[in-house]
Structures are given as C-alpha cells and as structure tokens.
C-alpha cells in the first residue's frame, strides 16, 4: 500500500512500547536505517535494544536473540537480513516484525515491510534484486520507519508500505 504523505504522523506509540533492532550496520544503507530506527525510538520514548548482526552465519541466531527479548516489535535493518527473516518470521506468528528497507518474497501476516522507490530486495537470493544504495537517505528511511510502525500499530501487519 502507498499511504498518503504524512498520514502516519498522527499515530501515537503506546506508553512502554518496546522494540528490538537487528542491524548488520556493515554498509552505508544499513547505517542509515539503524539511525532512522534509533531516532524514531528516541522521539517516541520507545525502549530500543540493538542486536548486532555482523556475521552472516549468525544472522538467524541474532534474529532469535531479538525475538527472545520479548519486545512489542522486532525491526530488521538492511538487505542482507531479508532471507534470514523469511526463514524465521513464519515460526513466530505472535511477534510483530518490521522490515525496513527491504521486503520478504513471501511474508506472513506478522511481517510489515517499509520501502521506497529504489528498494528492490525481496529476498530469495535473487542476484539482480539489489537495492540502489543512493536511495537510502535519512529522510526516506525516517518516513519509512514512521509509516511502517504506523501500519503495524493500526493493524495493517502483513503489508508492504511504500513511501516516496
């Protein structure tokens, strides 16, 4: 879905809302996404726990660590995590997930993705599906974070939210 610009700005995050952020932080795009999630958490007084994921062999373990934190929302930042998230999310249907800057090829109803023009990664290992790193700006990532969380909070989990 493509929400109207700023339609997500009136959404209030509940008190005591918690989130875990899984981030590779290994490239400029992932750092922009991590910064957007961190800024969102600070602005909305959300307790955010960062779960680093630097070793591809341990991506699934990092996702499981984030789930084990028992937060309201698990956020994934970056293209490299798309396939590992697809592997794990269907087993945790009571957990809400937000994929920031990528989407899953076959998401379940508990997974929301927030993307924009230039984001092409849909997981599945498609070599030609790399996103355009120049589109990963602080502004776009911030809008995607706000719109993605708004969708989750309004009950639109399982959708791809596209902002531009």
Q: What is the pLDDT of residues 77-92, one digit of tens each?
A: 978 899 999 999 999 9
pLDDT of residue 106: 82
pLDDT greater than 90 at residue 133? no
pLDDT at residue number 127: 47
Domains and CATH numbers, the chain: 18-162 (3.40.50.2300)
- Give the predicted TM-score (pTM) of the model: 0.93
What does the DSSP assignment read for the chain? Answer: --PPTTTTTTPPPPTT-EEEEEE---SHHHHHHHHHHHHHHHHTT-EEEEEE---GGGHHHHHHHHHHT--SEEEEESGGGHHHHHHHHTT-TTSEEEEES---SS--TTEEEEE-TT----STT-GGG---GGG--HHHHHHHHHHHHHHHHTT-TT-EEE--
């Amino acid at each position: 879905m493509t929400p109207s610009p700023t339609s997500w700005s009136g959404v209030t995050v509940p008190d005591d809302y918690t989130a875990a952020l899984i981030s590779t932080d290994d490239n400029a795009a992932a750092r922009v996404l991590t910064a957007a999630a961190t800024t969102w958490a600070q602005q909305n007084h959300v307790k955010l726990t960062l779960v680093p994921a630097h070793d591809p062999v341990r991506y699934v373990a990092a996702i499981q660590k984030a789930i084990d934190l028992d937060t309201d929302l698990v956020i994934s930042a970056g293209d490299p995590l798309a396939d590992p998230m697809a592997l794990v999310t269907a087993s945790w249907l009571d957990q809400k997930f937000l994929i920031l800057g990528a989407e899953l090829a076959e998401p379940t109803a508990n997974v929301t993705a927030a993307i924009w023009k230039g984001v092409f990664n849909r997981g599945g290992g498609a070599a030609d599906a790399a996103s355009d790193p120049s589109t990963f700006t602080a502004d776009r990532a911030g809008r995607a974070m706000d719109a993605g969380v708004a969708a989750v909070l309004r009950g639109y989990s399982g959708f791809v939210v596209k902002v531009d």
